[in-house]
Amino acid sequence: MSDYKPPLEDIRLVLEEICDIQEVCGFPDFDHVDMDTIDGVLDELGRFVAEVVAPTNRIGDEQGCSVTDGVVTVPEEFHRAWDQYVASGWGAISQDPEYGGGGFPGSIQTVLTELLATASRSWSMGPMLTVGAIDAIHNFADEGQKETYMPKMVTAEWSGTMNLTEPQAGSDVGALTTRAVPQDDGTYRIFGTKIFITFGEHELAGNIIQLVLARTPESPPGTRGISLFIVPKYLVADDGSLGERNDYTCISLEHKLGLHASPTCVLSYGESGDGAVGYLIGEEHQGMRYMFKMMNNARLGVGVEGLAVTERALQQAAEFALERRQGTAVGAPRGEQSVIVEHADVRRMLLTMRAYTDAMRCLLYLNSSALDTAGHHPDPEISQAASERAELLTPISKAWCTDIGVEMASIGIQVHGGYGYIEETGAAQHYRDARISPIYEGTNGIQAIDLVGRKLSLRAGGVMGDLLDEIAALDAALAVAGEEFDSIRSNLADGLAALREATTWIISNGVDDPNAALAAATPYLKMFGQVVGGWLLARLALGARRRLDEGVGNTGHLEGKIVAARFYAEQLLPIARAQLGAVTAGAEDLFAISADGFSV
């Protein structure tokens, strides 16, 4: 497996051209951050992930994790990396300074998430879940709870999780049965079983702060009756010291296709009979609203996983293609084996991976920048518009990026040929690790349903309309950018026209026939992602051309961005038009076969 090289030049370009990170740093809450500071942080962060985190990736896949008598064991290298992560303070980078955080924009947290996940997917799951738990506590817990838990979570001395799924419930969170019994002292006792709890038990951190969804007595059915509780692994005394172990146990670990060293736990609460001590967050029966805050953070983070696996698979595939000799390329001397990167089809695969990597990074960083603007811009109208934009983009960020990540990891194996299918090269690990991401945090089908069912109707369709108009407005810049942008312009216009037609069809037909909208949801989301990706790559290419004209930056790197954008427009963006038939096909065929007809 090749060594990981943090793509800092790519990251800086997207931060500046797509996120407009300089404008974000001008918000009052970020007046202590400037581009020189960010540049220094990126350099040091790149060094840290390459030297400290990346070596855990292959080790974790080979050694995995195990549980004995409720104690989870992960590779020793995970402990060393975690300790250095705590010592370096990276977990605090974008957290609230009031609780020991660095107060950087959330966009920089997204960069951190990408670099950690690309370096070692299994290891990175712990920090990513902790960030989500911090977000929920910060937004909804009372001040005493914040003071008790956040400082140690911000430093990563304590980790955090979220506990939603139960054996009988799955994605239907409203079917959960975990009980929260109120006590005279204001606490609750938690009883129930949770499954698929990532990093639900381990010895890396001094404490684990579980955020648990449960029902209080006589709560209404469904999601309306769910409350959210803090359930620490070790109870915390008034002076901040750790007390007795709480009454829950890791009874097993899931044996997974990938992410072998990320402990995915089955947790049993109240197994000893007393119940685990829990502390209500906010108001009773508001648990789903609070958890959605954490889940939206996690959905963006999971979307970053699609980018991360593609970047890592691309780096490895490109290195292999530069070394592996097979066949004779067109124009090469007869009888001489060529490195496979000289073959047109290998170049097609590598450029596909490169273009999608750039498109995903642009989308995810734009989404994160919208959240920064929503949370910190001093103008409430601009803040609101950014919040709506982030709401619209989140299902695309999560679902489109993770679907593409699986596809690109598969292409990475294909570049290796037969060597990709054997474990020694490490190419297969990326594919195995990637496959869970389209399932995490609401399957991608659920994301598509959320898009057509809730997000298209935001501000009576105005949020979507604003985005479509903004994409259309780029045509003027493309028109004067020169011949090298002609195909980008024409293909983006065609993709946008198809997306407008599909959007109109869903809005027109979805009310009268909800199944028609549901049947259209997944192909519509794919179309949406493909068009937004093309739009953002066009913007990135225009920025690259401007820099080239100004004589600023790495010429080869910038020219490559224009080529990648043109390749995407000509060979990948037309997929959007191809999805239109699937969007408008309706649901009749889906229900033309009886349920029994699917069985053998």
Length of the chain: 600
Element (H, E) at 43: helix 35-48
Name the token pair of 142: 């009372």
DSSP 8-state symbol, 573:
T
Nearest to 149 by CA among 325, 25, 318, 281: 281
**Which of 441, 470, 570, 588 is flagged as catalytic?**
441
Alpha-carbon 461 to chain mean position? 26
Distance (Å, whole) CA 287 – CA 289: 5
DSSP 8-state symbol, 339:
B
Query: Partners of 253 in the beta sheet?
Result: 265
Known catalytic residue at 441? yes
Distance (Å, whole) CA 568 – CA 485: 12
Residue 129 · residue 160 · CB < 8 Å: yes
Name the token pair of 20: 């407009």
Phi, psi of 94 (to 5 degrees): -110, 15
Distance (Å, whole) CA 435 – CA 398: 13
Q: Is 552 helix (H, G, I), strand (E, B) or coil?
A: coil
Give Cα separations from 218 to 181, 286, 289 (angstroms). 11, 15, 19
- 3-state secondary structure string across 203-234: CCCCEEEEEEEEECCCCCCHHHHEEEEEEECE
Residue 262 · residue 82 · CB < 8 Å: no
Name the token pair of 38: 């960010």
DSSP 8-state symbol, 91:
G
Pairing of strands 207-215, 158-163: parallel
Distance (Å, whole) CA 165 – CA 174: 10
Contacts of 21 (CB under 8 A, 6+ apart): 15, 35, 38, 105, 107, 369
Alpha helices for 283-379 (secondary structure H): 287-323, 344-376
Distance (Å, whole) CA 600 – CA 350: 40
Distance (Å, whole) CA 154 – CA 434: 27
Give Cα separations from 468 to 12, 473, 492, 496 (angstroms). 26, 9, 11, 7
Which residues are catalytic, by number?
A: 441
